[in-house]
Structure 1
Amino acid sequence: MTDTPDGFFGVYRSVFSQLRTAEPGKSDLADFGGPNMADDDVLDFYETWLEFSTKQTFAWCDEYPEHQAANRYERRAMAAENSKIRLEKKKSFNITVRLLVKHVRTLDPRVSSALLRKKNAREEKLRATAAKREEKRRIAYANMQANLEAASESPSEEESMDHYADLLWEQRSKSQNIRESNATVNKPMEVIDALSDLKIEAVDTEAGPECVPCGKTFKTEKELAAHTKTSKHRQMVKSMGGSR
């Protein structure tokens, strides 16, 4: 298909250009373009035009001249009928344009090429994603195999527990030997401590002169005599009802 005025692109470019021009205001409808139009632009063109909805009023299709109405009731009736006619014409026009767009799309070689390229790109992306996923699985499997091999070469849990038990028994034996050695060294000291206790008890039995009322013991008789002359001693003796 050539891009000449009488060719496929020339004819339909003119048709869609006229449709765009007929729409009031600034139209957002895409241009038909040419044979070298980008794939995305081609697909956007048909996507936009397949939803075509005219903004024209179709007032020229009115069948009843409202200005000739005899009264306001007749004018309202005419306006209602004209409104129905306009809606029907707009609906019919929209359907006609959309059917035209569908027909042109089936003839447009750009559409099939664009869809094919998009399909290939999508499939290529899926293949790349699948390849990455497969590579991750391969690496994970290799790591698992390496871990299993490392585990088979390392000591088993039972062997590790036996080794730990041997170390614990050896440590306990050393501690027991140290305690027995300390006990042997400390025996003479225990004898000395016992003798010292006996000596202390012997010394304690040799008590000096004692003041019975006051409950005090003195080293010499002289100290006791001096004590008996104190006011505290006399008060204590007096409270007991006697003299000393």
Structure 2
Amino acid sequence: MASNQLRCHYEVLGLSRDSSPEEIRSAYKKLALRRHPDKLVQSGLSQAEATAQFQELVQAYEVLSDPKERAWYDSHRSQILFSDPNSGNSVPDSVIPNLFSFFSNTVYSGYTDSGRGFYKVYSDVFEKIYSNEVNFCRKLGLGLDSVRDAPLIGNLQCDYAQVSAFYNYWLGFSTVMDFCWVDQYDVMAGQNRKSRRVMEEENKKLRKKARREYNETVRGLGEFVKKRDKRVIDMLVKKNAEMERKKEEEKERKKKLERERMERLRAYEEPEWARVNEEEVDGMEGFEEEEDKGKKGNGGKELYCVVCGKKFKSEKQWKNHEQSKKHKEKVAELRESFQDEDDEREDIEEDDLEKNEDVEEIEERFKEDFNIQREWEWG
């Protein structure tokens, strides 16, 4: 590939324009094995030609594997393929530079700021864009304050603040040029006011479209260059390494906290009041088992001793309780209390009877006195 003529990225990978990302990845892996410089040199190509072919393959994959770059390439493929990097960096009969030829890794070699080095080539390109903006302001008398000063691209030795300032400027680029040279109609040649108004509206649409496309092209070039800038790549590697380090530190911190928590749990002693006697627990468990068995053996019914106020879950427990000394004593006490109550009740009844007899005697006497009194009154 000694020639500087550009080939379509799809042609390089042997794919159609509607290929899927998986197909692009698969094609690149296969071709990368076959077109490795060492294999190409063994087949008879020079080292320079073998390296150029492999770089062409890598560039095609870099562009088509990135959805954003692929969309840009698809919409500007003809301009890129037919642009001439040796044409003085300007499109014929145009006042703006031809930027499409610089969307390629072949325009630079290495990361120096001289010759065909990365920082030299793209420094000249962006300087040309900035100069066009300044010249346009001067010619139209807009004032140089209409264009912000553009930061320099720098080189491998400059600090990252300058790198950030450079890409922030060009990724947010907006031209001051009005693109009057793209007008299709001479408004002054219109036959009447209405036709001139129509011509003017069409020219405005063309200017707006050209201006928008130019802004997108400059910003797209800025993104293309940033993605391949070694300083940006190194910074991303550092940031990723820093993120991984922080993740590891966070993992270790969580592990440490978990270890401390487990140590506190192991060292924890339950207070005396919260401890449960194991014998009581075993006794309760045995009692519960006995209760369950009693329920099953007694059809699920509970036996109750009225004298002692206790429940029994099995017939066996009830019989054992009946033979117990405490139960018999309470039964005897209950009988005695019943007997006492009967005696008291008999005494009360006798007293009531005696009272009743006295009342009857009084009534008889009263009747006798009453009869004697009547006889005396009638006599």
TM-score normalised to the size of structure 1?
A: 0.54
Q: Are 1:157 and 2:278 matched, yes or no?
A: no
The match for 1:123 among 244, 252, 257 is 244
- 2:170–2:222: 8 Å Cα contact kept in structure 1? yes
Letter in 2 for 1:13: S
* Structure 1 CA distance for aligned equivalents of residues 177 and 260 of structure 2: 64
Superposed, 1:21-170 pairs within 5 Å as 21-23=131-133, 25-27=146-148, 30-39=151-160, 41-43=162-164, 45-46=166-167, 48-147=169-268, 150-151=269-270, 157=275
Q: Which shifted more, 134-143 or 16-25?
A: 16-25
CA-CA distance at 1:20 after TM superposition: 3.1
Greater relative contact order (CA < 8 Å, ≥ 6 in sequence): 1
Deviations 1:71-117 (A, max 9, x none): 21122011111111112211321232233223323432222111101
CA-CA distance at 1:43 after TM superposition: 4.9
- 2:112–2:155: 8 Å Cα contact kept in structure 1? no
CA shift in 2, pair 1:7/1:158, >3 Å: closer
CA shift in 2, pair 1:20/1:129, >3 Å: farther
Letter in 2 for 1:27: R
CA-CA distance at 1:65 after TM superposition: 2.1
Identity %, equivalent residues: 30
CA-CA distance at 1:11 after TM superposition: 2.1
* Structure 2 CA distance for aligned equivalents of residues 51 and 30 of structure 1: 13
Letter in 2 for 1:123: E
* Structure 2 CA distance for aligned equivalents of residues 28 and 128 of structure 1: 43
* Structure 2 CA distance for aligned equivalents of residues 26 and 92 of structure 1: 19
- 1:20–1:27: 8 Å Cα contact kept in structure 2? no
Letter in 2 for 1:56: M
What SS class does the counterpart of residue 213 from structure 2 fall into? Answer: helix
* Structure 1 CA distance for aligned equivalents of residues 256 and 210 of structure 2: 61
- 2:147–2:176: 8 Å Cα contact kept in structure 1? no
Superposed, 1:134-213 pairs within 5 Å as 134-147=255-268, 150-151=269-270, 157=275
CA-CA distance at 1:28 after TM superposition: 7.0
CA shift in 2, pair 1:158/1:87, >3 Å: closer
What SS class does the counterpart of residue 151 from structure 1 fall into? Answer: coil
Letter in 1 for 2:113: D
Q: Which residue of 1 aligns with 2:129?
A: 19
Letter in 2 for 1:72: R
- The count of corresponding residues between Structure 1 and Structure 2 is 157
What SS class does the counterpart of residue 244 from structure 2 fall into? Answer: helix
* Structure 2 CA distance for aligned equivalents of residues 151 and 28 of structure 1: 73
CA shift in 2, pair 1:82/1:158, >3 Å: closer
CA RMSD after TM alignment: 3.0
* Structure 2 CA distance for aligned equivalents of residues 104 and 82 of structure 1: 33
What SS class does the counterpart of residue 14 from structure 1 fall into? Answer: helix
Letter in 2 for 1:32: I
CA shift in 2, pair 1:85/1:52, >3 Å: same
What SS class does the counterpart of residue 63 from structure 1 fall into? Answer: coil
* Structure 2 CA distance for aligned equivalents of residues 87 and 36 of structure 1: 40
Q: Which residue of 2 aligns with 1:222?
A: none
CA shift in 2, pair 1:44/1:131, >3 Å: farther
Please tell me whether Structure 1 or Structure 2 has the larger radius of gyration of its CA atoms. 1
Letter in 2 for 1:9: Y
* Structure 2 CA distance for aligned equivalents of residues 9 and 158 of structure 1: 80
Q: Give structure 1 stretches of 5+ with no counterpart.
A: 160-244
CA shift in 2, pair 1:40/1:126, >3 Å: farther
TM-score normalised to the size of structure 2?
A: 0.36
* Structure 1 CA distance for aligned equivalents of residues 214 and 175 of structure 2: 8
* Structure 2 CA distance for aligned equivalents of residues 128 and 44 of structure 1: 32
* Structure 2 CA distance for aligned equivalents of residues 111 and 158 of structure 1: 67
- 2:114–2:120: 8 Å Cα contact kept in structure 1? yes
Letter in 2 for 1:14: D
